[in-house]
Structure 1
Amino acid sequence: MRGTVRVPGDKSISHRALICASLATGESRVRGLLLSDDVRSTATVLRQLGAGMPELSDDVLITGQGFGGLVEPRMPLQCGNSGTTTRLVAGVVAAHPFTSRFEGDGSLSRRPMQRIAEPLTAMGARFEFEHADGLPMTVHGGQLAGIAWNTRSASAQTKSAILFAALVGGVPVSIRESAKSRDHTEVMLGSLGVPVTTDNLSISMSQARELPAFDISIPADPSSAAYLVALATLASEGEVRLPGVCINPTRIGFFNMLQRMGGAVRFVGRQRGAGEELATVVAGPATLRAAKARAGDVPSMIDELPLLGCVAAAAGVDLEVTGAGELRVKESDRIAALVANLRAIGADAEELRDGFRVGAGRRQFSGRVVTRGDHRIAMAFGILAALPDNRIDIDDRDCVSVSYPAFWEDVGSLRS
């Protein structure tokens, strides 16, 4: 297993760059965008709101409308499968004097939105739900007031919805989290001159008169890089190099956990870009040991936890993950999907209320994986399928287009 791969642009930063460019004054340039289904959903919604948003490409110019310059959409905002699109743009439209209806696919429609509705309602917006607190969701925006809000969880999307609402609404806010969540919104806004301050679990933002146009290159996505690092770790020989990866501390929990388990993962050539720290991630074969991941470990690797379970199974080591109940309300119930599929291919796995256990045992697997349309499940088991002697069939390979359209090609390039 040997090679160098530039994994695609970071999904979280791509969403935020499109939103910030739409709110900026003037023309912004965004390079290295993730050209995935989720990011296209954000572009589509912003286009519906009147942003000067062309068809996406690797190098795109976006004409911003300034604060309060977006317009009432003529049709429902179609968010596809993207929770980030829904929650962050809800914050933006909450500060505009019009009504927006958000719709999504079946998976997104089941995901909870009350976590953003509560703080945005406290700021002055009004929400309507047709089914519990999922989509369709209608947001009536208008004049907002500043708030001090405790998210009671580590939710970057809740935090970002509040920050974008306050930014457009021109009001101060302070936010406190129970644990540190990914902080790309604060980093990007701060790099553009917005008065944002952070102190451990607290974030505060004062009024900004405008958002200047900008030129940004999106770093490579550490969540996408994690799959190829896992493949290199489980290989018998070789080395994989992944340049330009964002190594923001709120995003590298998977790499840190692999190192704790004995993995050979390192960062070289550190530099700064887009307000973030970047590096080439280098990984190679390693003999792993048993591990436990607790609630404090979870926020920085929430998307990679199914992959960690698959890595433990392939390495034949015990793994216990707790404090990860958020996995139940992702694109699928990822705890149930992971455990059911590990058992289906012959691994020892058990569901916990807020996590899962993987037992040491056999290291060769065969069977059919039912992804439930979840890209993270498809890619996690795709790594197991790429290992020699495994015979694993994945029912929906195409769902990886949500976050990593070239996943199968990149995995194949390292195996050839």
Structure 2
Amino acid sequence: MQYKIINPVKLSGNITVPPSKSDCHRAVICAGLSEGVSEIENITFSEDIEATCEAMKQLGINIVKFKDGLIVKGENKLSVKESNIHCCQSGSTLRFLIPLAATLGEKVTFEGEGKLVERPLKPYYDIFNSQKLQYKNQDGKLPLTVNGVLKSGEYKVKGNISSQFISGLLFALPLLQGDSKIIITTELESKPYIDMTLDMLDKFSIKIENNNYKEFIIKGNQKYKSCKHIVEGDFSQAAFLLTIGILGEGIKCRGLNAKSLQADKAILDILRSMGAQIIENGGEIEVSPSKTQGTVIDASQCPDLVPVLAALASVSEGTTEIVNAARLRIKESDRLAAISSELNKIGADVEEKEDGLIIRGKDKLRGGETYSWNDHRIAMALASISSKCTEPLIIKDSNCVKKSYPEFWQHFRKLGGNIDEWSVGEQY
């Protein structure tokens, strides 16, 4: 177990934001389904991205890694090289690939670790039941074995569940013989993630008709075509760096796409609504030290921002209310419980609601020991407000950041962070 002791200091500097995990998952899958060779550049090989790469290899795709990219020799039809696919803790890997595995007519078993084992998959089970497609799980949990052939046709999916289910179907349905339609039966949340999927599919020559996010019309017998793709910077990770700069002495984030479709680009508007001073210059975003205010934050379209925004709100003036955030309870941790618990441990005033948080800001927090809940976003959110603590901030199980941002602690030090660390129960 890794502990980080962060001695409170104000941070500043310039940093290149790591590549978008959401963008990279989609690019690797589309490249693997393409005829020909694709090159994907600007990749950080986090645990989640490694999981998707390994899974695609087990489905017959030839992937060669170089320093910060991949050469992918795609196949328009997957084949099972290894029937057990280990998704580690990556929800994207699992939910994106289940429908693809169900196009093969061969037995494929999905395994996972941590909270992924119990994260819900009911939308897929409902589809499998309606199509009489054979599957087996362990009381609704992983491992999940799929053995059958997905059929083209009409798919009804709720829009207030994870968008990953819809994206998974969008990857798979163009490969089927007949045409299909996805009908969204409730208001669609996380629309930007669907936009990212549709945009990536278009880059690899797959055409989907989007009928105002109520229906998606998918022609069958389509062919993915290879291309070169450069992964853009990740606004999800930039959110932590921007918060550090707001509470510190300013930070300039490089490598972001001003026209990005990423859901978490919403961080810029939300920070501005809280009073942050932000300057955008092409692919660079600079924040200045700012006195932030409480606000109301609707998390329905950008749930991954909640931990860092809750942390910032805890040291902002006034009250912040985060609403429409119930889905955070089924992430890598119950993020509403996790972030409220850990912030309150260090002196914050956070009230947990069924689908959100009420945060009454304070000028300073006291610091002390916290736990990451084995959740990368909880660890980074806590670190991002360490400069507002009066005593050192201790984060237990701090290496969970490897899931999405392996260089986080290195970058934290580069910006002036003062960190001590120790390990318990590890051999070197």
TM-score (norm 2): 0.88
| CA deviation string 1:145-200 (max 9, x = no partner) | 22142323153201111112202224322342623421211111122221212243
Q: Is the 8 A contact 2:300 2:324 kept in 1?
A: no
2:169 pairs, out of 138, 162, 175, with 162
The Cα shift of 1:351 comes to 1.0
Take 2:408 and 2:14, find their aligned partners in 1: how far apart are those partners?
14
Report whether the alignment pairs 1:192 with 2:204: yes
1:109 pairs, out of 113, 117, 120, with 117
Q: Aligned to 2:116, what secondary structure does the other structure show?
A: helix
Higher mean alpha-carbon deviation, 74-83 vs 146-155, is at 146-155
Q: Aligned to 2:45, what secondary structure does the other structure show?
A: coil
Take 1:205 and 1:130, find their aligned partners in 2: how far apart are those partners?
32
Q: Percent of counterpart pairs with the same letter?
A: 28
| CA deviation string 1:327-385 (max 9, x = no partner) | 10000111111111011111111110111111123413211111111001000001122
Q: How does 1:200-349 map to 2 (within 5 A)?
A: 200-202=212-214, 203-235=216-248, 237-245=249-257, 247-248=260-261, 250-269=263-282, 279-293=283-297, 297-349=298-350
Amino acid at match of 1:206: K
User: Which residue number corresponds to residue 135 of structure 1?
Assistant: 142
The Cα shift of 1:314 comes to 2.0
Take 1:284 and 1:254, find their aligned partners in 2: how far apart are those partners?
15
Q: Aligned to 1:62, what secondary structure does the other structure show?
A: strand
**Over the residues paired in the alignment, what is the CA RMSD in angstroms?**
2.0
Take 2:92 and 2:183, find their aligned partners in 1: how far apart are those partners?
19
Take 1:241 and 1:103, find their aligned partners in 2: how far apart are those partners?
36
Go from structure 1 to structure 2 and tell me whether the alpha carbon gap of 1:310 and 1:345 turns closer, same or farther (over 3 Å shift): same
Amino acid at match of 1:352: K
Residue ranges of structure 1 left out of the alignment (5+ in a row): 270-278
User: Which residue number corresponds to residue 8 of structure 2?
Assistant: none
| CA deviation string 1:312-338 (max 9, x = no partner) | 112243111121110100001111111
Go from structure 1 to structure 2 and tell me whether the alpha carbon gap of 1:249 and 1:125 turns closer, same or farther (over 3 Å shift): same
Q: Is the 8 A contact 2:345 2:370 kept in 1?
A: yes
The Cα shift of 1:123 comes to 5.5
Q: Is the 8 A contact 1:79 1:104 kept in 2?
A: yes
Take 1:118 and 1:268, find their aligned partners in 2: how far apart are those partners?
47
Amino acid at match of 1:243: G
User: Which residue number corresponds to residue 276 of structure 1?
Assistant: none
Equivalent residue pairs, number: 400
Report whether the alignment pairs 1:96 with 2:104: yes
Q: Is the 8 A contact 2:155 2:183 kept in 1?
A: yes
Go from structure 1 to structure 2 and tell me whether the alpha carbon gap of 1:259 and 1:325 turns closer, same or farther (over 3 Å shift): same
Q: Is the 8 A contact 1:313 1:347 kept in 2?
A: yes
Structure with the larger RCO, 1 or 2 (CA within 8 Å, 6+ apart): 2
Q: Is the 8 A contact 2:34 2:204 kept in 1?
A: no
User: Which residue number corresponds to residue 145 of structure 1?
Assistant: 152
Q: Is the 8 A contact 1:386 1:411 kept in 2?
A: no
Residue ranges of structure 2 left out of the alignment (5+ in a row): 1-10, 418-428
User: Which residue number corresponds to residue 3 of structure 2?
Assistant: none
The Cα shift of 1:389 comes to 3.8
Take 1:211 and 1:149, find their aligned partners in 2: how far apart are those partners?
25
The Cα shift of 1:99 comes to 1.3
TM-score (norm 1): 0.90
Q: Is the 8 A contact 2:119 2:330 kept in 1?
A: yes
